[in-house]
A and B are shown apart, each in its own frame.
Chain A
Amino acid sequence: MQPSQEQEFQALIDADQRIEPRDWMPEAYRKTLIRQIAQHAHSEIIGMQPEGNWITRAPSLRRKAILMAKVQDEAGHGLYLYGAAETLGVGRDELLDLLHAGRQKYSSIFNYPTLTWADMGAIGWLVDGAAIVNQVPITRCSYGPYARAMVRICKEESFHQRQGFEILHTLSHGTPAQHRMAQDAVDRWWWPSLMMFGPPDDQSPNTAQSMAWRIKRFSNDELRQKFVDMTVPQAEVLGLTLPDPEIRWDETSGHHLFGEIDWTEFFRVLKGDGPCNTARMEHRRRAHDEGAWVREAASAYAEKQAARTRAGAA
């Protein structure tokens, strides 16, 4: 008997092959990927805002150049991802409309404010560190264009994390006031970073399907644990404390134990009740609307040039 399209699709995935844009795929697989890739892209471009906030106030020319390069990378990451989403048959303009209408979301982590310069360090070290732990397995995702975009992104994230670590290390070993500033930033960003991995496994029933499709390779709790194990020794090198008295090494499991996450805060921010939800969306819409004349001018110029070429050829 001939295998069905669905069986052939699953056989490719089970053989650890990649699915490419023009292959047949189940509608649910396509929709899952569009949601995931589009909202990942939205997170990258909204993520430019909390850091863009500090470009004019970076403490040195070196730090300023680095921060500009990082924010530019986030725009690039958004573009790689919108490109990957478009291979699934949806338009970038349509995805931006869905973001601007609030119908597609971005990661809640960007709804927290960046109050001091040390937040640039904490975001790089913790937020980008958590993103790397999440993103590295996606470089082996079953959908080819998403996996390839993620390879580029992961290479660049590594610079983001290290520059953040360097900022915190410098502050932590500076004056007592600078050390306090670094500690305060870590105190505020630690728990939201742990929440980035999503709800615990027993409350994440979608995970099984995503794993069967090899979109997801590890569960939320596995990735969160990996991040904690990676980060605890780094905090010691920084000379900073993680704000969780329950963190301790557990000989039996070979992992660091940590305290309960306050999921009510997570859901509150997700629902729109975070410190910066409104400001982030307003800024995004304004930037898009105020940039309209640039897009129109580029289109008009392209049209004029094309008309000249046509006239010359006639």
Chain B
Amino acid sequence: MTASSLSADGGHGAVPTGGVPTGVPGSGSMRDWPLWEVFVRAKRGLSHQHVGSLHAPDAAMALRNARDVYTRRSEGVSIWVVPASEVVASSPDEKDAFFDPAADKAYRHPTFYVVPDDVQHL
């Protein structure tokens, strides 16, 4: 064990990094319970926001675990859990093309328009 194979970046103290395996990509969670994405409404009037994920065998356990993991300090008044496999996402590879229709339409923003300085409440 040499100093060069160590990292302190793990946050809770230096750990070795040289020669440490990192698993096989895409191999995960075959034995584990399904993954759920967790959304929490922090207080009335706010929308639910994604806070993280967890594993649970069913929806009821996912909700209970989400309460224990993500709201130990009254961080929420409502929780949604969604099976991660049900989330449909846009692809980052296509992001330029996918969002392109909005890119050249600056006239959709109020700042696009020139108005005289002395006009009020506009």
- Taking residues whose C-beta sits less than 8 angstroms from the other chain, chain B's interface range is 35 or more
The complex places the Cα of A206 from the Cα of B9 at a distance, in Å, of 10
Q: Does the CB pair B14–A92 fall under 8 Å?
A: no
Q: What are the interface flags for B7-43 relative to A under an 8 Å C-beta threshold, 1 for contact and 0 otherwise? A: 1111111111100111111111111110100000000
A9: min CB distance to chain B, Å:
11
Number of interface residues of A (CB under 8 A): 81
Note all chain B residues with C-beta closer than 8 A to A196: 8, 12-14
Note all chain B residues with C-beta closer than 8 A to A103: 20-21
Q: Which residue of B lies closest to A91 (CB)?
A: B28
> Could you list which residues of chain A lie within 8 angstroms of chain B, going by C-beta atoms?
20, 22-24, 30-32, 34-40, 43-44, 47, 69, 72-73, 76, 79-80, 83-84, 86, 88-95, 98, 103-109, 127, 130-131, 134-135, 138, 148-150, 152-153, 156, 195-200, 203-206, 210, 215-216, 220, 223, 263, 266-267, 270-271, 295, 298-299, 301-302, 305-306
Known: A76-B69, A86-B35. A39 touches B15 (CB 8 A): yes
Q: From B22, B33, B54, give the contact of A299 (CB < 8 A).
A: B33
B13: min CB distance to chain A, Å:
3
Known: A76-B69, A79-B54, A204-B3. A35 touches B32 (CB 8 A): no
Q: Does the CB pair A94–B69 fall under 8 Å?
A: no
Note all chain B residues with C-beta closer than 8 A to A32: 17
Determine which residue in A39, A88, A210, A305 has the highest number of CB atoms from chain B within 10 A of its CB, and name it. A39
Q: Does the CB pair A104–B8 fall under 8 Å?
A: no
Q: From A94, A127, A266, A271, give the contact of B24 (CB < 8 A).
A: A94
Residue B4 lies at the interface, judged by CB distance under 8 Å to chain A: yes
Note all chain B residues with C-beta closer than 8 A to A43: 10-13, 15
The complex places the Cα of A140 from the Cα of B12 at a distance, in Å, of 16
A74: min CB distance to chain B, Å:
9
A68: min CB distance to chain B, Å:
12
Note all chain B residues with C-beta closer than 8 A to A270: 1, 6, 14, 16
Determine which residue in B6, B8, B12 has the highest number of CB atoms from chain A within 10 A of its CB, and name it. B12
Q: Which residue of B lies closest to A42 (CB)?
A: B15
Q: From A104, A150, A195, A215, give the contact of B20 (CB < 8 A).
A: A104
* A-B CB pair tally, cutoff 8 Å: 190
Q: Does the CB pair B58–A44 fall under 8 Å?
A: no
Q: From B9, B12, B30, give the contact of A210 (CB < 8 A).
A: B9
Residue B61 lies at the interface, judged by CB distance under 8 Å to chain A: yes
Name B89-117 residues within 8 Å CB distance of A. Answer: 89, 91-93
Q: List 12 A-B contacts (CB under 8 A).
A: A31-B22, A34-B22, A43-B10, A79-B69, A90-B23, A90-B25, A93-B32, A105-B15, A135-B11, A148-B52, A199-B3, A302-B33
The complex places the Cα of A308 from the Cα of B97 at a distance, in Å, of 45
Q: Does the CB pair B29–A36 fall under 8 Å?
A: no
Having A93-B28, A298-B33, one finds 8 other A-B pairs with CB under 8 Å, namely A36-B7, A39-B10, A43-B12, A43-B15, A90-B28, A93-B32, A220-B14, A299-B57
Q: Does the CB pair B72–A302 fall under 8 Å?
A: no
Q: Does the CB pair A36–B28 fall under 8 Å?
A: no
Q: From A88, A91, A206, give the contact of B4 (CB < 8 A).
A: A206
Q: Which residue of A lies closest to B90 (CB)?
A: A22
Q: Which residue of B lies closest to A32 (CB)?
A: B17
The complex places the Cα of A293 from the Cα of B108 at a distance, in Å, of 59
Note all chain A residues with C-beta closer than 8 A to B13: 43, 107-109, 127, 130-131, 134, 195-197
Q: Does the CB pair B33–A150 fall under 8 Å?
A: no
Q: Does the CB pair A203–B4 fall under 8 Å?
A: yes
Note all chain B residues with C-beta closer than 8 A to A302: 33, 57-58, 61
Q: Does the CB pair B11–A223 fall under 8 Å?
A: no
